[in-house]
Structure 1
Amino acid sequence: MVMLSQVNRDSSPPDIMIPRDYNAAHDLIERNLVAGRGGKIAYIDDRGSYTFDELSKRINRFANVLKGLQVRQEERILLCLLDTIDFPTAFLGAIKAGVIPVPTNTLLTAEDYRHMLRDSRATTLVVSHLLWPHFQEIVDDIPTLRHVILSDEKVPGRLELSSLLSQASDVFRAAETTSDDPCFWLYSSGSTGNPKGTVHIHSSLVNTAELYAIPTLAIRESDVVFSAAKLFFAYGLGNALTFPLAVGATTILMNERPTPEAVFKRLRQHQPSVFCGVPTLYASMLAHPDCPGAEELNLRCCPSAGEALPQEISRQWSARFGVDILDGIGSTEMLHIFLSNRVGDVRYGTTGKPVPGYKVRLVDEDGQPVAVGEIGALEVSGPSSAIQYWNNVAKSRSTFIGDWIHSGDKYSVTADGYYVYAGRSDDMLKVGGIYVSPTEVESVLMGHEAILEVAVVGRHDDEKLIKPAAYVVLKPGWSASQKLAGELKQFVKAHLAPYKYPRWFEFLDELPKTATGKIQRFKLRSGNQNPSIK
């Protein structure tokens, strides 16, 4: 029998009791039906709305589709889906059947998908019709791939999801899985090589909801949740699937790119109370001429992750909407946020304190603890940790160190316990033998009225010594000039130690970013800048 998890929220951290016989999809759906929410709206996408009862039946139908196609327990199915009802249907339907879904970034290349299909040895591909062109030339070259399912339109010679669902039974008994069984994978960003398949177990999802979402975000049944961050990566998966399903909230899905215009449309139309964004988007929204006023919206909670949130953006958002952005950090390996600010305890310019149930530590190059105020490598331990990288022993051993995960991030901690982001390990600069955090310089520059976005990286000067260089996107109405560059240099010198100021300023139309909105500093370091530098 596959049972539900139970939680004692009177303890701190919450005492989460996950039985040995456990299926994550069964838990997240059944808890809502048991609570009498069958007729409540679970999801609203660009095509319509779906109750918890309808969602449950779709999930059961997809599980039966997989059974009918003879997809076996623990086989992998690759999902390349836009944010519509088909994503939770396929993701949770696979998990309920004991099959392992592998959601993938929807903005990759055919070669990226070829690698993932081969690496995961997927037997089934479920793909949105708009994304099919990336796959149509490669699927016949994947030896393990037996089934290709299009999610929203028919393609000759391929299966079509709605047709398959319409013919399947809406009754399905969850597969006999355990809390420690592999449940799903998420591929890492692959910024230092091919993406790595990060393996999570069945207990991971509910742990993130009970330890982070419910205590920190105070998410509840009455909430309407909208995540501009997409479902295909860890932050969005928690925001728009795990967390609302854990409490019976309603979720808004958007299949288009999260531009300020698209986000404003959903904020006005659906009046979400919880909005989940990333720092780049928050900055773009505030700078947009159509940015709404607080009286037009219904916001009460705004988490942020993906990269460090400049404190100036925090202040501007709070002043405009009367709601603090709750900056936090998570990772694919930890599944969601483990270090965060929280309602009533926000320190601008920091990532807050450890989420109860997680432990963090800062260590030097020899693995020894660093002193308060010194920069060290961030390591984290907690119950939502992945168990390995698929088929990559060397990288698994260097990242998963006993109970601890080496995050690849650099931090310092204040005397009263707030953690301050210093950058990724490979982003740190040594100027005159002293470490300089690019994030610290960026945060200061974001306080200048001309700047919309900025990235600071290292560049060699004429003596082959490393000095900071800043790549800047200006707000509308401002023009690039040597005079402005000089102004910006003086602005940094007025706020930081003199050796930290950028020696060069380059003005761009946009910064290179990943699909999740993170700035790709390695492209700036390598000289692969946007050709629109002014």
Structure 2
Amino acid sequence: MPVKRPGRDAVPNMTDYDAERARFRWEVPQRFNAVLDILERRAEQSPDELALVTLRRDGGVTASYTFRELNLASRRMGHALAGIGVGKGERIFVMLPRIAEWYVALLGAIRIGAVPVPGTPQLTSRDIEYRVDRAEAVAVITDTDGAVKVDKLTDRLPTLAHRVVAGTAPSAGWHTMDGLLARASEGPTPVDPTAADDMMLIYFTSGTVSYPKMVAHTQASFGLGHMVTARYWQDLRPGDLHWTLSDTGWAKAAWSKLFGQWAQGATVLEMDLGKSDPDLILDTIERHGVTTLCAPPTLYRSLVVADLASYDLSRLRHCVSAGEPLNPEVIRIWEEGTRGLVVHDGYGQTETVNVLANFRCLPVRSGSMGKPVPGFDVDVVDDDGASVSVGDEGNVAIRVEPERPAGLFTGYWRDPDATAAAFTNGWYFTGDKARRDEDGYFWFEGRQDDVITSSAYRIGPFEVESALVEHPAVIEAAVVGQDDPDRTQIVTAFVILHPDAAPSPQLAEELQDHVKRLTAPYKYPRRIHFVSDLPKTVSGKIRRGELRDRLRGTTQT
């Protein structure tokens, strides 16, 4: 019998914030595997309850899996990967859209101790080459479009021994995922494949002064860690149908589409969205009875422009947002349009699980990052790790000594200098600036580095600058984020041209197309300013902060 979906009157999982904070202790076993200890156990306890529903771009159902069915699919995938020679600890580059195969691929790899390296389908062949090479991936799992991109790199990926396509193979040398699964066993895989501190996932960050770094997460840090994300912030429970609108290439997908939600007994909804369509999204919420929604601020801004009153959103009971602070006005319109639903902002990074949040059991402070999640000691500190006074700006930091919390990455893989810079004086420094008010709520002030947040994408300027200077007309370039009411920021470039090149709208468009070809399309500069020089420090580093200040003082478009 299907589990009844909870309504808006459901009692929060956490009813007393201070008591839960005092009570909470991380319990991390020595041996742990997220697939076996969460999905397989849930399949034994509730085999016929829905774990995953996937939709086409028009809203029609493409697949649905009970916990038993998804567990068996992950077994087949694990056997299939082992059968072609993928072993424990080896990296698999996974680049798939929002389809069921993404889940099966990741779950199959994780259950045998292999390490998926997710990437967004928007990546170019150049992006793929960098990621496969840096991670020394032995296998790739992608769709037909991705396989075509990989085929362009045939002689440049020496570690890549296995190629799997979800769809039609564009050339010889590819295994089809359907073919592998059809021949694979549904029997148990190794019963004790991983320790809790074995690596489970690698995500690439956005680069600021270098190419993207590799964030290493263990079985415990993301498998166990995201239980607090799902339990406290998302407030999930059996019967919930949870929808997170996030690309599969971003860590937000692991935040809200994998283990934490299933540990709570919720069903995950996935939709192969193209360009976000507010009316399609609202229609999907109504038609399928979505109960909990997680979306970036950019999407909420577009949803509140739609005619909310024309949709029946009565089964929607809890809404959360992350990525950047959500405007109080958007929160107000959404609350009015949904007849009482307040968006609960949360905060975390690729390097963490949810560590700050507005919770159902506490008053929401619109625009704030919320309070620390149980299990985390988060503070606003100076550069030496000392707490700053209430109301003063400082570094958002997570205490890691004397006890390191689960839910925190182990470090930047194969980058000891970056790891050492992030972990100092007993704290993990997030790189974000904030202030804390007298009631313990955190308020975001900005990034310490130069990462650009645009339409929920995090973009490092270095990659865009590197692409620009490869154009023969460009001598030097600097890239910053310019404030934008719809996208939070837009990528903006300042370009010094070769003496033989002349500024023009045509050249600006040519440079934009050039960047789109060399790197993921969402990274291209939407505005280009041709300049004769760039502000620099005495050591020659570009002063991006000065460029951002210059943009805030100009109306140039």
What TM bracket, shorter-length normalisation? 0.7 to 0.9
Aligned match of 1:38: 47
Structure 1 pair 91/292, CA: closer, same or farther in 2 (3 Å)? farther
Of 203, 217, 222, the residue aligned with 1:205 is 222
Of 283, 289, 293, the residue aligned with 1:271 is 289
Structure 1 pair 254/403, CA: closer, same or farther in 2 (3 Å)? farther
Q: Which amino acid aligns with 2:52?
A: Y
Partners of 2:370 and 2:122 lie apart in 1 by 31
What is the CA-CA distance between 1:522 and the residue it aligns to?
11
What is the CA-CA distance between 1:121 and the residue it aligns to?
0.3
Aligned match of 1:66: 81
Q: Which amino acid aligns with 1:406?
A: F
Contact 2:346/2:358 (CA < 8 Å) preserved in 1? yes
Partners of 2:412 and 2:233 lie apart in 1 by 29
Contact 2:282/2:311 (CA < 8 Å) preserved in 1? no
| Mapped pair 1:94 → 2:103 | no
What is the CA-CA distance between 1:191 and the residue it aligns to?
4.1
Aligned match of 2:533: none
Partners of 2:525 and 2:416 lie apart in 1 by 27
Partners of 1:145 and 1:380 lie apart in 2 by 37
Aligned ranges 1:321-400 → 2 under 5 Å: 321=338, 322-334=340-352, 336-345=353-362, 346-381=364-399, 382-400=405-423
Instruction: State the identity as a percent.
Output: 29
Partners of 1:522 and 1:18 lie apart in 2 by 48
Of 147, 172, 189, the residue aligned with 1:173 is 189
Q: Which amino acid aligns with 2:430?
A: S
Partners of 2:439 and 2:34 lie apart in 1 by 37
Aligned match of 1:315: 332
Aligned match of 2:124: 109
Contact 2:92/2:141 (CA < 8 Å) preserved in 1? yes
Question: How many residue pairs are counted as aligned between the two chains?
Answer: 448
Aligned match of 2:477: none
| Mapped pair 1:255 → 2:272 | yes
Q: Which amino acid aligns with 1:376?
A: G
Q: Which amino acid aligns with 2:207?
A: G
Partners of 1:275 and 1:414 lie apart in 2 by 28
| Mapped pair 1:161 → 2:161 | no
| Mapped pair 1:19 → 2:21 | no
Q: Secondary structure at the match of 2:71?
A: helix
What is the CA-CA distance between 1:259 and the residue it aligns to?
3.3
| Mapped pair 1:53 → 2:68 | yes
Partners of 1:117 and 1:90 lie apart in 2 by 17
Contact 1:149/1:161 (CA < 8 Å) preserved in 2? yes
Q: Which amino acid aligns with 1:199?
A: A
Aligned match of 1:406: 429
Q: Which amino acid aligns with 2:186?
A: D
Structure 1 pair 206/26, CA: closer, same or farther in 2 (3 Å)? same
| Mapped pair 1:29 → 2:39 | yes
Structure 1 pair 515/214, CA: closer, same or farther in 2 (3 Å)? farther
Contact 1:63/1:172 (CA < 8 Å) preserved in 2? no
Partners of 1:295 and 1:310 lie apart in 2 by 24
Q: Secondary structure at the match of 2:320?
A: strand
Q: Which amino acid aligns with 1:75?
A: E
Aligned match of 2:444: 421
What is the CA-CA distance between 1:230 and the residue it aligns to?
2.6
What is the CA-CA distance between 1:389 and the residue it aligns to?
0.9
Contact 2:245/2:295 (CA < 8 Å) preserved in 1? yes
Query: What is the alpha-carbon root mean square deviation over aligned residues?
Result: 3.3
Structure 1 pair 196/133, CA: closer, same or farther in 2 (3 Å)? same
Contact 1:229/1:516 (CA < 8 Å) preserved in 2? no
The alignment's TM-score, normalised by the length of structure 2, stands at 0.74
Of 304, 308, 323, the residue aligned with 1:286 is 304
Contact 1:349/1:420 (CA < 8 Å) preserved in 2? yes
What is the CA-CA distance between 1:30 and the residue it aligns to?
1.7
Partners of 2:525 and 2:298 lie apart in 1 by 12
Q: Which amino acid aligns with 1:58?
A: A
What is the CA-CA distance between 1:374 and the residue it aligns to?
0.8
Q: Secondary structure at the match of 1:48?
A: strand
Aligned ranges 1:101-250 → 2 under 5 Å: 101-157=116-172, 158-174=174-190, 175-250=192-267
What is the CA-CA distance between 1:268 and the residue it aligns to?
2.3
Q: Which amino acid aligns with 1:82?
A: P
Contact 2:229/2:260 (CA < 8 Å) preserved in 1? no
Unaligned runs of 5+ in 1: 1-7, 429-437, 440-467, 475-511
Q: Secondary structure at the match of 1:225?
A: strand
CA deviation vs aligned residue, 1:244-294 (integer Å, no higher than 9, x gap) = 211221111112233324422321221110111000110011113x44556
Partners of 1:380 and 1:185 lie apart in 2 by 21
What is the CA-CA distance between 1:135 and the residue it aligns to?
2.1
What is the CA-CA distance between 1:104 and the residue it aligns to?
1.3
Structure 1 pair 280/472, CA: closer, same or farther in 2 (3 Å)? closer
Structure 1 pair 426/23, CA: closer, same or farther in 2 (3 Å)? closer
Q: Larger relative contact order (C-alpha < 8 A, sep ≥ 6)? A: 2
Q: Which amino acid aligns with 1:384?
A: G
Q: Which amino acid aligns with 2:379?
A: R
What is the CA-CA distance between 1:417 and the residue it aligns to?
0.7
Structure 1 pair 206/76, CA: closer, same or farther in 2 (3 Å)? closer
Partners of 2:333 and 2:246 lie apart in 1 by 21
Structure 1 pair 161/18, CA: closer, same or farther in 2 (3 Å)? same
